[in-house]
Amino acid sequence: MVFDRNENKEVAVLLGAGSMGTAIVRRIAAGKKILLGDISEKALERVSHEFTYGGYDVEMQVVDACDEQSIRAFAVKAASMGPVMYYIHTAGASPSQASPEHIIKLDLIGTAYAIDAFGEVMARGGAGLIVSSQTGYMPHALTTEDETALALTPTAELAALPCLDGSKTPTSGAAYIVSKRANHLRVQAAAAGAWAERGARINSISPGIIVTPLAYDEFNHPGNTYQNMIDRSAVRRVGTSDEIAAAGAFLLGPAAGFITGIDLLIDGGVIAAMRTGKYALGRR
């Protein structure tokens, strides 16, 4: 049986086959071609099976989101499938999952390479979405000069920046905060640069505590950081992937056609609690 006889379909791309990214794709990709990327072939097969049996048109490719050439090959594959109208990036590791060095390599530099690579293949009118984190709003050791460098330094030279040499990212938590702040900065620069030149938009979203397998790794980490955030937030609960998907679909869609280069904080009020003294972040 042929489920879809349409040709020259728009392409929606997801790098990082986790629950938030797949929830976003389900909102936007009906009638489109989906390209899934992840370092885990097993995860790709599972998600591809779910999408296929849900009536979606899916292809997949194993991608190392730390490696520039792997990311660029993924972008080339996407462009070969049709006009790339949507790019969603969720690849990353949490503080309890990785060393500071790996977090910088994956969450910061790898994300920057993806922004670059897809900035070269997006179709006019297309939109990108980087899924960052509320931690990008948390206190850090970066100076104004550091932030300018993180925003504007060519990606191949990012690793050599003094602010990433370990003095300001001595722990996995500190590296995660700096990486997510850098995501916001790189999106701003891309929105005004390469993505604008292609007539495409790019934004980021910063989820708070969303129940995903990654979040469970943090729940199981020693200490009560997540529980304290929940208890002191305005809404006093966790968020869901569906709530993130609703916001992501909005930023990717035509109703957000005048929005680019921004970050949308979706955290249930955790950062508001921090900034008003209702909650103080524990260090690790």
Supply 125's token pair: 């009118």
Task: Output phi, psi for 95, to 5 deg.
Answer: -55, -35
Kindly state the tokens that stand for 225: 């950081």
The Cα-based distances of 10 to 36, 61, 79, 81, 112 in angstroms read 14, 18, 10, 8, 24
Q: Which two tokens stand for residue 245?
A: 């998907």
Phi, psi of 175 (to 5 degrees): -65, -40
What is residue 125's three-state secondary structure? strand
Cα–Cα dist 59/142, whole Å = 40
Q: Which one, of 207, 55, 3, 32, lies nearest residue 126 by Cα?
A: 32
Distance CA 17, CA 14 (A): 7
- Chain position carrying tokens 């976003």: 24
Residues in the chain: 284
> What tokens appear for 136 in the block?
């990008």
Residues designated catalytic: 176, 180
